[in-house]
């Protein structure tokens, strides 16, 4: 499992993303940099929440980098910060991710797809509070979608948690299924390590 760090910056988000990706490519170690704005992450930072409320949230950017490159990344970010007018607000280790999901599915193939996604998940992914109810009404076969009774129903909810890339992949697989609702992904952070 790869440990990632979250870096929150103020200003020059595109430059910082390019710099971090350049570092990753130059190291030639198959390291991936994630930009928070490209994914459905829940905002867990008070200053970012206030900035978004005031309409200036675009000033803040969030990046996730592998632990193997965090030292080089933070040093490189310090070198350019004065000239380009950005600041590194926080750097924190990411412990994991989680999101909640709920479903009320009336199409058998969608229900089977969800159950297959859950059954075939990575070993590092935990699903809690999940007790699905699958109902088949043989006598309602052929009923229209908005009829009082469907021939198939799958209902339930739960929480998916675990390591970063695996949870993120599962989030998008579940989100693609009709009649499955997912909450934004929440990053679980360790204690702050730098300002």
**For residue 29, what pLDDT band results from cuts at 50, 70 and 90?**
confident
Name the residue among 180, 38, 9 with its Cα closest to residue 104: 180
Taking only the tens place, the pLDDT of each residue in 117-171 is 999 999 999 999 999 999 887 665 554 555 556 688 999 999 999 999 999 999 9
Query: What tokens appear for 142 in the block?
Result: 């052929």
CA–CA gap between residue 54 and residue 51 (Å, rounded)? 5
pLDDT over 80 (residue 21): yes
Q: Is 5 helix (H, G, I), strand (E, B) or coil?
A: strand
pLDDT over 60 (residue 19): yes
User: DSSP assignment, residue 149?
Assistant: S
pLDDT over 70 (residue 106): yes
pLDDT over 90 (residue 55): no
| Mean pLDDT, range 42-55, rounded to an integer | 56
Q: What angle do CA 156, 99, 93 make, to 5 degrees?
A: 155
Residues 6+ apart with CB under 8 A from 10: 59, 60, 61, 86, 87, 89
CA–CA gap between residue 69 and residue 79 (Å, rounded)? 16
pTM passes above 0.85: no
Q: Is 179 helix (H, G, I), strand (E, B) or coil?
A: coil
In Å, how far from its chain's centre is CA 125?
13
Strands annotated E in the chain = 4-10, 34-35, 60-66, 87-105, 126-128, 133-136, 152-162, 180-182, 186-194
User: In Å, what is the CA distance from 195 to each residue of 64, 93, 98, 103?
Assistant: 16, 13, 25, 40
Which has more confidence, 28 or 192?
28
CA–CA gap between residue 170 and residue 175 (Å, rounded)? 8
Check residue 135 and give its pLDDT.
Answer: 87
Domains of the chain: 4-95 (3.30.70), 97-186 (3.30.70)
């Amino acid at each position: 499992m790869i440990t990632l760090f979250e870096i929150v910056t103020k200003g020059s988000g595109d430059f910082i993303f390019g710099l971090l990706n350049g570092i990753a490519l130059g190291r030639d170690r198959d390291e991936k940099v994630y930009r928070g704005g490209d994914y459905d992450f829940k905002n867990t930072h008070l200053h970012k929440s206030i900035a978004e409320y005031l309409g200036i949230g675009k000033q803040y950017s969030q990046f996730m980098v592998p632990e193997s490159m965090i030292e080089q990344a933070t040093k490189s970010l310090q070198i350019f910060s004065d000239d380009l007018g950005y600041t590194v607000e926080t750097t924190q280790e990411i412990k994991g991710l989680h999101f909640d999901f709920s479903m009320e599915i009336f199409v058998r193939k969608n229900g089977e797809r969800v159950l297959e996604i859950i059954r075939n998940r990575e070993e590092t992914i935990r699903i809690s509070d999940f007790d699905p109810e699958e109902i088949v009404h043989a006598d309602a076969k052929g009923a229209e979608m908005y009829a009082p009774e469907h021939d198939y129903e799958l209902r339930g909810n739960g929480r998916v948690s675990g390591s970063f890339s695996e949870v993120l992949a599962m989030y998008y697989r579940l989100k693609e299924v009709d009649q499955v609702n997912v909450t934004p992904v929440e990053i679980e952070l360790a204690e702050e390590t730098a300002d």
